[in-house]
Structure 1
C-alpha cells in the first residue's frame, strides 16, 4: 500500500469530521477496483468490526465489503459472520450502512455470492421481529438487485420475487416490487 492510502486510513479514524469523511470517500472509491494491499489492512478492519465507536464499526464493515473483491485467499468466507453481525448493530444507522454495502461481498465470486444470498434470504424470512424490519427487507432486496445487475443471474431475481410474494402487507409488497421494475 502506498503512503497516501496509509494516510487515508489514518485520517478515516483520527481526522476531524471533514477529514474522516473525505478519507472514507477516497477509500471506497479506490477499493471499488481490485487492490493488491487488502491484507495489509484486513485484520485491523476485522478487529474494528467490534470497535467501541459505532462510526468505526460502520466504516470497517463497508471497507471490508468493498475489499472482498481483492481477497484471493477467500478470507471473507471465514470472516463474513463477523461482518454480518455489524448489519445487526445496536445503532441502526451503523447496521443499515453495513447492510447496504453487503452486496459488494457477493460480487467477489460465486461462493461469496451464494453465501451472501443465503444470509440475506434467511434474514428476510426470519427477521420480522427486528426493529425497522421493513427497511431491512428493502435493503436486502436492493442488495439482491445489485447482485442481479452484476451477474445478470435470473435465479437471484426469482428468489427476490418469491420473497416479495411472501409479504402480507400490500403496501410493502408494492414498494419492494418497485426495486425490480
Structure 2
C-alpha cells in the first residue's frame, strides 16, 4: 500500500471530521478500481463490521464491498454474511449506507453476483416486517439498477422488474419504477 492510501486510513481516525470525510471519499474512490493492497486491510475491515463505533461498521462494509473486485482469493464468498449483517444494523443510517454499496460485491464474479442478487431478492420479498422497509426496498431496487448500469445484464433488469411488480402499494410501485426509467 502506498503512503497516500495509508495516510487516508490513518485520517479516518482523525479528530477533524472534514479530514475523516475526505479520507473516506478518497478510499472509496481508490477502491472503485482494482487495487493490490486489499488484503493489507481486509482483516481490519472485517473487524470493523462488529465495532462498537457505527462509523467503523459502515466504513468496513462499504470498503469491503468495493474491495470485492480486488479479491482473487475469493474471501468475499466466506465474508459476505458478515457484511450483509451490517445492512441490518440497529443504527439505520449505518445499515442503509452498507446496503447502498453491497451491490459492488456482485462485480467480483458470477458466484458473488448470485450471492448478492439472492440476498437482495430475499430481503425485498421477506423484509416487510423491518422498520423503514419501503426505504430498504427502494435501496434494493437502486442497487439492482446500479448493477445493471455497470454490467448491462438483462437478467438483473428482469429481476428488478419482477420485484417491482410484487409491490402492492401503487405509490411505492411507482416510486420503485422511477429508478428504472430510461433503462
How high is the TM-score relative to the length of structure 1?
A: 0.98
- Separation in 1, partners of 2:54, 2:33: 26
- In structure 2, the partner of 1:100 is 100
Instruction: Determine the structure 2 residue equivalent to 1:162.
Output: 162
Rounded Cα–Cα distance in structure 1 between residues aligned with 2:24 and 2:140: 23
Unmatched runs of 5 consecutive residues or more in structure 2:
none
Which residue matches 2:25? 25
1:9, distance to aligned residue in structure 2 (A): 0.5
CA distance in 1: counterparts of 2:74 and 2:97, whole angstroms:
23
Structure 1 runs of 4+ aligned residues shifted over 4 Å read none
Question: In the TM superposition, what are the counterparts of 1:77-88 in structure 2 within 5 Å?
Answer: 77-88=77-88
- Equivalent position SS for 2:12: helix
Structure 1 residues 118-177: Cα deviation after superposition (integer angstroms, max 9, x where no partner): 000000000000000000000000000111112211111111111111111000001101
Q: What is the root-mean-square deviation of aligned Cα atoms in Å?
A: 0.8
Q: Which moved more, 1:5-14 or 1:42-51?
A: 5-14
Q: For residue 43 of structure 1, what is the aligned residue in structure 2?
A: 43
What residue number does 1:64 align with? Answer: 64
Q: CA deviation at 1:15?
A: 3.9
Measured after TM superposition, the shift of residue 19 of structure 1 is 1.0
Aligned residues: 181
Task: Tell me how far apart the structure 1 counterparts of residues 63 and 21 of structure 2 sit (CA, whole Å).
Answer: 13
- The DSSP-based 3-state class of the residue aligned with 2:13 is helix
1:110 Cα deviation from its structure 2 partner: 1.3
1-structure distance, mates of 2:109, 2:132: 30
Distance 1:153 1:8 in 2: 34
Counterpart of 2:175 in structure 1 is 175
Decide whether the 8 Å contact of 1:13 with 1:56 is kept in 2: no
